[in-house]
A = this chain, B = another copy of it.
Amino acid sequence: MSVVTQSKPAFSANAVDRLIDATAADMAKVNALILARADSHVEMVPELARYLIESGGKRLRPMLTVAAASLFGKGTGSAINFAAAVEFMHNATLLHDDVVDESDMRRGKPAARMVWGNKASILVGDFLLGQAFMMMVETGDIAALGVLSAASAAMAEGEVFQLAKTGDLSTTPQDYAEVIRAKTAVLFQAACEVGAMSGGADAPGRKALARYGLELGTAFQLVDDVLDYRGETDTLGKNSGDDLREGKMTLPVILALADASEAERAVITGALGDAEASDDQVRSVVAIMERHDTLGRTIRQAHAHAGAARDALNAAPAGAMNALLADVVEFSVMRLF
């Protein structure tokens, strides 16, 4: 997943900066808990875990958890545990994904697997997942545990589905929607939903925040998949064109294959799934995408989901935090420009 630079002066970055400010007190507790629970008498565990966790991600998911809790009144208590658990689940997924995708870089640094190896990355991911569940259990909130454990299973299922579809030219936009729902949007949904629950939300409020997270996460992933073709390697924290080289069937390539001429199709399939595809090949594929406006169509889908995320907030308590969460949606789409 790509990360924008903090220095970007866009409106969107401001909204996230304001979220960082608004959640600072809670996030200080979350960060302390994260550090404490990444500890182990087995040295390699905290070394590897902290390398990843402290590598400059924005911690958007745990911020959403504590923000959702404070939206309903209670920003502390179990929300802190859930926020740390969500971040651990996310980082466990990143560790395993980088092994599965054979990624060399993550957040602008060598991926953990390049430093400690695939084996340690798999096992430390498992450790973080176990610690995440321990933190959830400590809250005693069995309903929220249900939300997060279902998310955990769905995320893995989505990753398997994506793997099964790797390089599969018959992948449909519906298949893609299912993949991004499971691998990305479900955790955003769970992060917001358990935040709302721990904040004391009633059923409609909980449902509103779940919907907000799902739509936000979907917009976020759609933009991510555009950035993989349009972004600069420096800004992405990984290599532009990685998805193409890994054979990932994201919406820009699915739509391009559907509309491509025979010659264009040959250019795309010649690079798709070829780890050695050149930057020139990637540029040729991007040119085809621009010709058929598949990056633009993907962005417009992202905007539609962003709108749905903002709409969902209408059913949640009004006020400054509600307005801020609406602004954060912009971040998910504005980081394109």
Chain A positions near chain B (C-beta within 8 angstroms): 40, 42-45, 96, 99-100, 118-120, 122-124, 126-127, 129-131, 133-134, 136-138, 140, 142, 145-146, 149-157, 159-161, 163-164
Contact = CB atoms under 8 A, between A and B. Distances in A.
Contacts of A151: 130
Given A127-B153, A140-B142, A160-B45, A122 B99 contact: yes
16 contacts: A40-B160, A44-B160, A99-B118, A100-B123, A119-B163, A122-B122, A123-B159, A123-B160, A124-B160, A126-B159, A127-B153, A130-B149, A130-B151, A131-B153, A140-B142, A145-B145
Given A123-B96, A163-B44, A130 B154 contact: yes
A40 B150 contact: no
A195 to B, nearest CB: 18
Given A42-B164, A142-B140, A164-B42, A100 B129 contact: no
Given A119-B163, A130-B149, A149-B137, A124 B44 contact: no
Contacts of A44: 160, 163-164
A152 B133 contact: yes
A21 to B, nearest CB: 33
Contacts of A152: 126, 129-130, 133
A44 B133 CA distance: 26
Contacts of A42: 157, 160-161, 164
A43 B133 contact: no
Contacts of A122: 96, 99-100, 122
A126 B160 CA distance: 10
Contacts of A160: 40, 42, 44-45, 120, 123-124, 127
B130 A137 contact: no
A119 B161 CA distance: 12
Nearest to A158: B42
A98 to B, nearest CB: 11
A153 B137 contact: no
A153 B137 CA distance: 13
Contacts of A100: 119, 122-123
Contact of A126 (B96, B134, B146): B96
Contacts of A140: 142
B163 A134 contact: no
Contacts of A45: 157, 160
A44 B124 CA distance: 25
Contacts of A157: 40, 42, 45, 127
A53 to B, nearest CB: 16
Contacts of A142: 137, 140, 142, 145
Contacts of A136: 149
A109 B20 CA distance: 52
A70 B127 CA distance: 32
Contacts of A118: 99
Nearest to A131: B153
